[in-house]
Amino acid sequence: MMVSHLVDRTPPANLRSLLPFLQGSCFVLIETARFAATSLLIVLGLPLALFLFVAGWDLGGLFTQLANLSDRYLEADGLRRSLFSQDLKGCFLALAGAVTLFRMPRFLRRLAADLDNHPAREAKRD
């Protein structure tokens, strides 16, 4: 009778010691991606909120403003379009930086608290 001894094998100690590091790294990457995605969505939603505010929270007024903006953009020459595009990119980057800097301290505090309260560490204390 042939018995496989693969079931009795345990992973080497060095791989087990690497597991908390890999778990922590994955957690940090997931939380950072979540932070970046929500920051980007905030930055993309702020112009919509601004246009809605200016239009008096009326969708008809919002689309009228957007139609006016698009008509003026299409009527402009190449240089003005390029300058408008550069201004728009600059405003987007500045707004993204401001939102990120505003949200960063809370994100880092929450991340540090979550890493300090790791479930594996709590289980070892008992």
Q: What one-letter code names the amino acid at 10?
A: T
Residues 5-41: pLDDT tens digits?
655 666 556 777 788 888 889 999 999 999 999 999 9
pLDDT in tens, 68-114: 999 999 999 999 999 999 999 999 999 999 999 999 999 999 999 98
Residue 23 lies in a domain: no
* 88 lies in some domain: yes
Residue 31's nearest CA partner among 109, 94, 123 is 109
Length of the chain (residues): 126
**pLDDT at position 17, please?**
79
Statement: residue 54 has pLDDT above 90: no
Q: What is the pLDDT of residue 8?
A: 60
Task: Indicate whether 103 belongs to any domain.
Answer: yes
The answer to whether residue 120 scores a pLDDT higher than 60 is no
74 touches 63 (CB < 8 A)? no
What total number of domains does the chain contain?
A: 1
pTM for the structure as a whole: 0.71
Q: Is residue 7 domain-resident?
A: no
Is 17 domain-assigned? no
The helix-helix angle for 59-75 and 13-54 (nearest 10°) equals 90
| DSSP structural state of residue 13 | H
Q: Which residue has the tokens 């698009």?
A: 70
102 falls within a domain: yes
Burial class of residue 61 (count of CB atoms within 10 Å of its CB; 0-12, 13-18, 19+) = middle
19 located within any domain: no
Q: Quote the pLDDT of residue 126.
A: 42
Domain ranges, residue 52 = 30-121
Q: Is residue 110 part of a domain?
A: yes
In terms of C-beta distances under 8 Å and separation of at least 24 residues, what long-range contacts does 112-117 make, across chains too?
114/27, 114/31, 115/24, 115/27, 115/28
